[in-house]
Amino acid sequence: MLSSVSENSMQVGQTLSCNRVKERSILLIGNDQQLSDLFQQQLRGHGYQVQQKQRDNSIEESIVKNQPEMVILDIGFSDLSSLHLIVTIRAVFSGPLILLTSCDSEQEQIMAFNLGVDEYLVKPISKNIFDVRVSALFKRFVKSQSIDNQTQIQVGDLTLFPFAFKCQVNKQPVALTQFEFKLLHLLVSNEGKIMSRDLIYKTLLGREYNGSERTVDVRVSQLRDKLTRQGQQQTRIETVWGQGYMLNLLN
């Protein structure tokens, strides 16, 4: 009888565990199809929704289209130059990012973390350790999101989640680069106030505005375009000629 109860308890526990993760979506990026298939099969066996993607120039498009909750990037035996893909991913994705590599290099690991990965796993890796690392990383981000949901900033149809670097328009996600998010956060936090180019350059870029550089102007234009495409109507980033930019709440 005790054995039967224990087995039933284990089955219930496994069912509950699967239910907890079945809504979690993962984008798996790699160039070894056979290995990618194995990882996909393993993750799906634990209830995750997994999309596969080959390493190519359309990674950003795939992330924006699929809106995954986690990205796993497998670079195999690639050299350090392959780490630029982390920058590409972080430009449009702020969620948990795992790097899979066949190179156990301290230099690569330091660079990877500095560029924005959350977990660095060296292959070959046991199935159990891989499962535990994926699960643990999700748990950390769920906790972070819980904290973030309590500290959101809302102005009109705009909602920012500062801890998670997330933006929503009318509760719909908008994929922003980290610079775009920081720029929008600065404007939202100072709604109705003019943010001069000098202030923006010093605060976000750490350098003086030289009077002719167009970096921030281009970024503002791109930010406006993204917010408008998502249906922004109650707020607007306005250009104050000769002074800077200001976020206004429209009537």
Along the 251 residues of the chain, how does pLDDT read in single tens digits?
323 333 333 343 343 344 444 468 999 998 888 888 888 898 998 889 999 888 887 888 888 788 888 999 999 887 777 888 888 888 778 788 999 999 888 889 888 888 888 899 999 888 899 999 999 888 887 765 555 555 788 899 999 988 777 899 998 888 888 788 889 999 998 999 999 998 898 888 878 888 888 888 888 999 999 999 999 999 999 999 888 999 998 86
Exposure string for 189-227, b = 16+ CB within 10 A, e = fewer? eeeeeebebeebbeebeeeebeeeeeebeebbeebbebb
Distance CA 221, CA 227 (A): 10
DSSP secondary structure string for all residues of the chain: -HHHHHHHHHHHHHHHHHHHHTT-EEEEEES-HHHHHHHHHHHHHTT-EEEEEESSTTHHHHHHHH--SEEEEEEET--GGGGHHHHHHHTT--S-EEEEES---HHHHHHHHHHT-SEEEESS--HHHHHHHHHHHHHHHHHHHHHHHTS-EEETTEEEETTTTEEEETTEEE---HHHHHHHHHHHHTTTS-EEHHHHIIIIISS---SS--HHHHHHHHHHHHHHHTT--SEEEEEETTTEEEEEE--
Distance CA 8, CA 20 (A): 18
Closest CA to 92 of 184, 180, 206: 180
What pTM does this model have? 0.55
- The 10 Å Cβ neighbour count of residue 1 is 5
> Cα separations (Å) of 129 from 50, 187, 230?
18, 43, 40
